[in-house]
Structures are given as C-alpha cells and as structure tokens.
Structure 1
Amino acid sequence: MKRFVSLLLATAFAAGLAGCAGTVTQAPPALQPTAPGSIASGKAEVLWLGQSTMRITTPGGKVIVVDPWLITNPKTPPPYKQLNAVGKVDLILVTHAHADHFADAPALARMHNAPLYNAGGMGQSIVTLGILPAALVQRFGKGGTVAPFGATGPKITAVHAEHASELAWKNPATDKDETHYGGEPVGYIIELENGFKIWHMGDTGLFGDMRLIGETYKPDLVLIPIGGHFTMGPQDAATAVRDMIKPKYAIPMHYGTSPLLRGTPAEFSSALGAASATRVLVPEPGQKVDF
C-alpha cells in the first residue's frame, strides 16, 4: 500500500511521516451508521479517540471498538463524549478491567446489543455483579482465536500483556466502592478480512515473548502504549517495535491523559531511530488512519 499521508503534525514528525502508506484524516462523528456498501471497500480504518480507545472499521464493514473510555476521558474530542457519536458498533473488545479501558464498554454493549469479548477471565465478574447480562459477554482464553462474524470475517486472537486488571465497582445496594477480580490483561491480534493484522497491545510492559508473538502473527500495525509509569515508556516501546515485533506501522497510544503518562510520540520516534523500517503514524484524538 502506497498512499500519501496528510496530517498537520509538529515539525519533528513531518519528515518521518512523509510518504507513509496510511492516510490520516479528521473523522467527523458518525451519528448514523454508515451504509455497508460505502465502507466495504477493501480498506481498514482506525479511529483513535484518546488513551487506548480505538474504533476499527474492517474492509467488510464491521465495527470493532477496543477499550472504550470516552465520557470522562480528557483526550476524547467533545462530540464523542456522547456515546451515540461512535456510530454503529458490532463488537467490543476489552483488554483489561481498569476504568480507563472498560468504563464505557457496558453502556456501548447495551446501546448496540453488541457482544463484549474478553479473554482474561473478566467476563465472569461482569456477569456475576450484574454489570451486563450473560448474553452480551463472550469469553475466550489467551492463545485462543475467535471468529465472531463467521469463517470469512475478522479473526481475533488473545495474546499476553504484562499488566494488572482490577475491576473497581460501586455496589448499588450499599453505594460503596468495591474491588473485584478483573481477570488477566491481554492484547489482541485482529486479522481483518483482507489479511491485514492489527495488534492492539492494551496496557503492557516490555516482555521477551513480544518477539515470539511478532514472529508468529506478523502484525502489520501495532497500537502501542508509550506513556510510561503504568506501561512501557518511549524507550521500551521502541525496543519492542524495532527489535522484537518489526511491524510496518505503529500508532502510539496511552499517553498524555494524566501527568503520570509523560511519554510522547516525539520521544518514541527518536528512540526508534531513523533506521527503523517501521513507519510511525501520530493521529490526534478524533483522527483516523486508513490502510
């Protein structure tokens, strides 16, 4: 894929992004579902909405939302703080139970009658606590692959992430905050209908089997945390991309939403180095990248 990238970025990124295969554009809120015929064009679209929230539209027109945190996310564009602005949702993926990845998942699932998939064991707590009915919670395990839309649709494989996963919940009967088992953190390899593979890494620290995952699944695009403190910072993220995974493209995420998440795309690109074959795309929240 050789498409021109147009995005008004800081000067430090301009040279590195010139000639990139993805096209970054401003995405208006999709207040109405897009007609299937207009998006089943063989392209994939990744819309970043701040932190780790991604809306992925597949070449076949399926919409997968990963780690939805919108209403209280300081980096989410104002229009998207109204959940109906996300547009249609066919499936929700949650990498772990922390509120900045899970907070708006139940509401979106109910709004669209969309199944919420989790591979780390969080689903049992969601159902037991009454957060969602069992019919909307689909569970599978690390290393497992599911094909929610049938054999010709996208395939999703759960892979390891190095993090934690507590589920904080306010008990409506007592009005007190409680902490429950949130399963294990995971990342997802999302293989689209045309074979394009996206690795949403969730929250993770650096670990050696990133190399094995990269060699096994060969992701084209990684969505990688760079903020530091709770996840990899720019240096570790660059090590993962340059030395272990070696994808065609990387989009940094999970930075800038709090003073603790100090890593920046500029630091990530600098640590990655000019010799890296991976092209770094840096959309602003509310912008999308087409592949």
Structure 2
Amino acid sequence: MRFQIPFGGRLLRALLAVAALCTAAAAFAQGGKTEILWLGQATTRITTPGGKVIVIDPWLTSNPKTPAAFKNLAALGKVDLILVTHAHFDHFADAPALAKMNNAAVWGPAGLNDSIVKLGILPVELSPRFGKGGTIALFGPGGVKITAVHAEHSSELTWKNPATGKDEIHVGGEPVGFILEMENGFKIWHMGDTAVFGDMRLIGDMYRPDLVLIPIGGHFVMNPRDAAMAVRDLIRPKYALPIHYGTTPQLAGTPAEFNAALGTAPGTARMLVVDPGQKVEF
C-alpha cells in the first residue's frame, strides 16, 4: 500500500524547509564577522555577522576627514538602519538624506526624533522614538539588539527655516550612546560625544562591551587622558578604537596620546587605530 502525504504534509514540509533556512541563517550569523568601517569624526558603518548594515552618526558629505569616495552617500551601499547619538550637525547632517535614499529609519534620542517629525525633516515612519535604557531588536529573533545608554554632552538641533532662511534652535533630546549586540554576541559601545561620567562603570558592568568606539579629541569631548582612564578603570573592554579627533583644531587629542595614557598593565584594552576609510573585523 502506497502512503500519500496530504496537503497538510506538504505544508509541514514547507515549514520544515523554512525552519532549515532560518537555522542556516542563524549559523551563518554565529560564524560570520563584524566589520567596522570608520569614516571620520563619529561616522561608523557596521556590518553585522548576519549581513545587516548599520550607520551611526552620518556626517560624510562635508566632513573634511571623510575619504572622497564616501562623500557620495551611495558609496555606503544598502543601509538597513541609521543611529544618531545626538542632534549636532557633525553627527546628524546626512542622516535625513541617507534615510530617504535607503528607506531606512533613523533611531535617536526621543526628543530629537520628535523634532525631526514636527519640522517635516522626515516622516514619522523614518523617525521612530526610543530613549535611554530602551532596547530595540529590529531584525527578528536572534538579530541585533541595540540599547540607548547615557552620554554626558548636549544635543541642540539647528534647523534652517525655509520660510525665513534663518537658522533656528530646536529640541534635540538628551544625547545617548549605543550598545550594539551582534547576532553572535559580540558587543560594541559607540559612545557618541561624551565627557567622563561615573556610571560608565555601571554600563560596563551591565553590558560588558567587547569594543568601545570612544571620543578622544578634547574640548567638546574627553581628551586622551580622560578617555584612557574611562577605558582602563571604568569600562574595561577588550578593545578601544579612538574616534572624534583631528577634524577641527579644537579636537587636538591624538591616538598616540591616548595609547600612552592607556598604559600596558595586564588586562588593559588593546587600542586599535584606523584611518578614515579603513576597516577592522572581529
């Protein structure tokens, strides 16, 4: 006697095939690499082990440190998600254009995103809101998780009123940093712009980042000595990649100064230095 699988059996086979594909995708994400491309100031493109592309603090077209090839936003390739740590021009400038080009949402401080919508810079579907302590997981189960954490800075949004041609200052929300947990568990803390604050230790203990992208330029953010103390004594990651330096004369701190202040005691984070346009992989 021949046994025939009814429609329900065909449906079961289809479901099993989908489950197998999901398992294969999860295995790829677990075994893949995290790629960090730094493009000057705080602008960073992260490609996750699962192939998602996240751009943080996009300032490219007028950034003097951005390589010429990347002054064309299309050179970034397909972007799945945009993160903005605060409203200042050198972190937000190209976010609206990049969002429209890729139909990719800009996630940032709730107050900033509210202003973005109210001023008509982006529609609400491209400017969702969340805040410090909130976690978003936008790429399904097992995908990247992103948590907004404290940063010690300011966040004013400068907007040119098209009716008057004059610049206006609007609410930019409170500045944040982002903890990004990759599909394979690797964790990155993009600190945005910040001074040292005591709860860096708490954030380090809670999330245990493997890599911190840390500002070292001074004047508006930590100088190399302060950044080294934060990494060595408060956060204690495996790796530290200095950002937000050398773009203007005020941002005079250097990676060499940061590395010297960091020291070589056992357990101290390894400093990674890349020039704008260079990548590191983990």
Q: Same fold (TM over 0.5)?
A: yes
Aligned residue identity for 2:268:
A
Partner Cα distance (2:115, 2:151) in 1: 20
- 1:152 is displaced (CA, Å) by 1.3
How does the TM-score come out when normalised to structure 2? 0.88
- With normalisation by structure 1, the TM-score equals 0.86
Q: CA deviation at 1:120?
A: 4.2
Matched, 1:282 2:270: no
Query: Between the two proteins, what is the percent identity of the paired residues?
Result: 72
1:169-198, Cα deviation, whole Å (9 max, x unpaired): 111111111110111000000000000000
Structure 1: 5+ residue stretches without partners? 1-35
- Alignment-mate amino acid for residue 269 of structure 2: T
Shift of 1:138: 1.4
The aligned amino acid for 2:232 is R
Q: Deviations over 1:13-67 (max 9, x none)?
A: xxxxxxxxxxxxxxxxxxxxxxx9xx95510000000000000000000000000
| Partner SS, residue 149 of structure 2 | strand
Tell me the equivalent position of 1:92: 82
| Equivalent of 1:42 in 32, 37, 57 | 32
Whole-angstrom distance in 2 between the partners of 1:233 and 1:138: 33
Q: Aligned-pair distance for 1:119?
A: 3.1
Instruction: Tell me, in whole angstroms, the C-alpha distance in 1 between the residues paired with 2:153 and 2:138.
Output: 26
Amino acid aligned to 1:221:
L
**1:186 aligns to 2:186 (yes or no):** no
Counterparts of 1:254 and 1:139, CA distance in 2 = 25
Q: Which residue of 2 aligns with 1:101?
A: 91
8 Å CA contact retained: 1:96, 1:120: no
* 2:34 and 2:281 in contact (8 A); partners too: yes
Runs of 4+ in 1 over 3 A off after TM superposition: none
8 Å contact kept, 1:120–1:186: no
The answer as to whether partners of 2:109 and 2:172 remain within 8 angstroms in 1 is no
1:268 maps to what in 2? 258
| Aligned equivalent of 1:139 | 129
- Residue 82 (structure 1) shift: 0.5
Answer 1 or 2: higher relative contact order, Cα 8 Å, separation at least 6: 1
Q: Which has the higher helix share?
A: 2
Question: Highest CA radius of gyration, 1 or 2?
Answer: 2
Partners of 1:105 and 1:119 in 2: CA distance: 14
Aligned match of 1:66: 56
Root-mean-square deviation (CA, aligned residues, Å) is: 1.4
Residue 207 of structure 2 corresponds to residue 217 of structure 1: yes
Give the equivalent residue in structure 2 for 1:238.
228
Which residue pairs with 2:160 in the alignment?
Answer: 170
Distance 2:36 2:81 in 1: 15
1:151 is displaced (CA, Å) by 2.2
